[in-house]
Structures are given as structure tokens and as C-alpha cells.
Amino acid sequence: MKKQIFNPFLPLDEYVPDGEAHVFGDRVYLYGSHDAEGGERFCMGDYVVYGAPIDDLSDWRKEGVSYKKEQDPRSQNGKLVDYYAPDCVRGEDGRFYLYYVAMGPAVTPFGPISVAVSSHPEGPFAYYGDVHYPDGHPVLKYGNNDPAVLNDEGRIHLYYGWGFTRDFRNPFLRPLYDRILAKLYARSLSEIRSTKPSITACAHLELEKDMLTAKGEPVAVLPSKTTAPKGSLFYAHPFYEAPSIRKFGDRYYLVYSSGVDNALVYAVSSEPDRGFEFGGVLISSSGLGYQGNREAKYPAGTIHGCVEAIGNNYYVFYHRCTHNTDFSRQACAERIHRNDDGSFEEVRPTTQGLNPSPLLVEGSYPAEICCELYSPKRMRLGNGHQEDSPNIVCRHNERFIHAIGDQTWIGYRDFAWNKPNALVLRLRGSEGDVEVHSAQGMVVGSAHFSDSRAWENCRVSLTPSEGNHPLFLHFRSRGKIDLISFSFEEGSR
């Protein structure tokens, strides 16, 4: 790599969640939604595309705005649609097709799946049409959300859907459940009741080579909580949203969000439209469930991502939440191991991310690249209204960790420790103490800091530590603290 890289791997003022990474030629391109920094709802921006050489994943470049909201025909009279999670595929004609759903304030939810087209993977894209039946009517069966698409040697497979994380099969609750679904999907009660096994399933639809026309009817391929057999692996991790499809070898891998433990999981089948079996968990953005952990290590909400083969390695792309909301999400990625039997090993969020080795213990780092951020107080996303929880914010063009309270832990994984002399924290806020750990329970330094309204340096002398370890900061204070950066000092004592 030309340079060191860390999570989140795009510029720190950029918010591209729901990432779908695809290799086209000698570059990998990242397609996703586009949140606003400190935004008030999902997906407030136009689509943008980032790309990097497949042999240097540190060199991400913004390819530009790929598709503007005003280009969708549903944007009219100054009211713009919001573009939700997209996916991109190369058609048999060599062009690139961007699948998306227009939602937000200007349109009815769960409308048609739309398509834009370009001669280049990075765009710009132009509106092409909506997915429809041969008679021209739009395909609206199941919940049109989060499209994922695969060109399987000329066969075009489209997946989409949205579900609930609760089991509503109880006959006494079913009428209420149906009315709720009818309102959410803007569909009639008869349509809700006639869609089998449930409108909340993940659906598959094969398309003609025009990339728009349906071949037959959509079919359900993954169950929601209400239709999964009780006690099954799908009942523990049912389909919720965020499908993403890949084919590795002769097997189809359908990645999705289960809505459980902020987990991105996957199912596997030898057929594209049936027979999927639960494969396992890929990653939890909050750390829940990893190696049996039952405490959230990072504030998290939605999760959406993919697995992509780049060069000789596999990577899982996902997003993290900032600003104490689910509306300002940033792209992250981890290398993930695929076993000989085709299964994937679960990984945890790291700061190291796409970097092939642990980060260097030298120079300065922005504090907001932490992969763990938690305190004993239960963390709940407050959509901008819960200021007492530690969270990552941008204020007056400064990005930092805000509202660090008593017993807050901030973690960075991993660093190649080589006996740094000191760690310098740049912070402000209430008086307190900080411990530095090279692993939890392994204290390598501590310091006291005073009240300050301005950014001040707090120098922590470190005892020798060597090897690849995380960096943890453990704070104790009666008030609140902000942390904007940290740096390492090296040299003899």
C-alpha cells in the first residue's frame, strides 16, 4: 500500500453507508447511500462513488457525484426523493446498471425498484426505468427495499425486501400485525394477507437482459421472524433488510441484516432462488455476540454491507453510526477469512480495517477512528437528542469524541507496539483521570488532567510494551470530556 489506512476508510467528513463494493476491471468501486454529517434523516445526499486500485486499498478516490436526486422523475416541484441503499451490476451489453429505491418525504414508501444506467462504473448515471412486468405494470410484490443484483453468466438475479424482527404469528396478534403492515407498505389488507409466506420476506426475481422486465413472479428466499421455524438458525437470525448477493465458486451467498445484535449475517445455496441455509454471522457493528460478548462495545443501529473478493482476499464492508444517530453512517471494512468449506469466520470491528498490518505507533491520529466506545450506562441511539452518551460529532468543523463520562472506554484495534515513550491526548472538559491499556487489564500508563474549556495536551508516560495490541483509554471523571486526537512520542527516557 502507498500509505497507511484505517476505519472509517473514506475521508472523515464523508458518510457513505450501505456499502456495496464491486470489482470492475482493475479497480474496486464502492456504491452506497449518502448520509449527511449530523443529518436529520437517512440518505439526504445524492449518490457518490468512490474507487480504489485492487492492489492498493489505501488509495480511495472520490469519482464524483454519480446520480442526482433531481434526475429521478418522482422529484418534482422542488420536492426531491431520497435515494436508499443501491447496488450496481454490469449488464450483458457492457453498461453498468444502478438499482435503487426512491423513498423519503416526497414519495410513498416501498414503491417500484428503479434503475439508472451508465457506460462507466463510476457514472454519471441516467434514469433508465422501473422494474416491471411484461405488461408494463411495476413489480410491487413483497417490500421493495434495498435491491441487490447479480449477473450470473447472463442470468440477472434481483433480490430485495424488508421485514420485522418480531414474531407476529400469534393468531390473536395477526390482525393487528396485518394492519400495521398495510400502513407501513401502503398496501391493501388483502394484498398483505395474500402475499405468501409473508410480505416481509426477502424476495428473488429474475430479469430479462433489458435489466428491467421481470421473468415470472418474485419468490421468497429468506424468511422473516414470523415465518422462520421456531428454534431454527433463521429464527435466531431472521431476514430483516439489507440483502446483498455474491457468487463464489458454485455457491450463492446472500448477505443480510438480521436485526439481531446489529449483525450482518449470510445464507448459502447452490441455487439462486431456493434452498438457502443459514451460514453464520459476518460482523456486528456493536460487537454484540462476538465470542459470546453480550455488551455493546459501540453505539450502533442499522447495519448493511457486503462481502467482496478483491485480489486473493475477501473483505466485509459495513457501516458504523456517528453523531448519536442512525442518520450519519460511515463506511468501514475488514478482511475476512473464507474457510475451505466455503464458510466465513466472524470478525470484529477494528480501527486497522483495510490496512494489511497493525497501525504504526508513531505520529498523530484523529480520536474518532475508535472501534469501541462505551460506558456502563446503556447506549441507545438518540437521533441527536441524547447528549449524555459518548459519541462522535462534528462541531464548528472539528470532529471529535464528545460527552466522555465516568468509566467510559475508548478502544482502537490494533497497533504494532514498539515501546513508545508517551501517549499525548488532546482533550478538554472536566477534571479527571485516564488509564492507558495495551489490552484490557494491562495498564501501561495513567495521568490526571485538569478542567479546561480549550483543547489541552495530556501527556501519559508509558511503561514498555511490545507486540500487536489494541489501545484502550479508560476515563474517570465527574463531568464530561471531549477528545479530538492522540499522538505517540518515541525515544529514550
Domain-located, residue 69: yes
- Cβ atoms of 326 and 301 within 8 Å: the answer is yes
- Give tens-digit pLDDT for 136-174: 999 999 999 999 999 999 999 999 999 888 888 888 888
pLDDT computed for residue 492 by the predictor:
46
Q: Write out the residue range of the structural domain in which residue 231 sits.
A: 20-336
What cell numbers appear for 267 in the block?
A: 445464507
Confidence bin at 36 (pLDDT 50/70/90): very high
Determine which one of 20, 72, 82, 241 is catalytic: 241
Q: What is the enclosing helix (H) or strand (E) of 182?
A: helix 174-185
* DSSP state string for 115-181: EEEESSTT---EEEEE-B-TTSPBP-SS---S-EEEEETTEEEEEEE---SS----TTTHHHHHHHH
385: pLDDT strictly greater than 60: no
Positive/negative CA dihedral, 19, 281, 392, 428: negative
pLDDT computed for residue 78 by the predictor:
81
C-alpha pair distances (Å), 244 with each of 288, 363, 390: 21, 38, 31
Let me know if 466 is exposed, middle or buried by CB neighbors in 10 A (0-12, 13-18, 19+). Answer: exposed
363: pLDDT strictly greater than 50: yes
pLDDT computed for residue 473 by the predictor:
97
- Cβ atoms of 31 and 84 within 8 Å: the answer is no
Domain-located, residue 6: no
**For 99-110, what is the mean pLDDT?**
83
The answer to whether residues 481 and 369 belong to one domain is yes
What cell numbers appear for 87 in the block?
A: 447496488
**Which residue type occupies 392?**
I
Active site residue 482: no
Determine which one of 14, 18, 82, 122 is catalytic: 18
Residue after which a domain boundary falls, among 271, 302, 336: 336
Active site residue 18: yes
Domain-located, residue 351: no
- Cβ atoms of 325 and 381 within 8 Å: the answer is yes
48 backbone φψ class: left, alpha, beta (φ>0; ψ -120 to 50): beta
383: pLDDT strictly greater than 80: no
Q: What is the 3-state secondary structure (H, E, C) of 413-431?
A: EEEEEECCCEEEEEEEECC
Domain-located, residue 207: yes
Domain-located, residue 403: yes
pLDDT computed for residue 382 by the predictor:
57
Q: What percent of the chain has pLDDT over 70?
A: 97
**Which residues, other chains included, contact 275 with Cβ-Cβ below 8 Å and sequence gap of 6+?**
269
* DSSP state string for 433-449: EEEEEEETTEEEEEEEE
The answer to whether residues 368 and 440 belong to one domain is yes
What cell numbers appear for 167 in the block?
A: 414474531
Note the pTM of the prediction, 2 decimals.
0.96
CATH number, position 424: 2.60.120.260
Confidence bin at 133 (pLDDT 50/70/90): very high
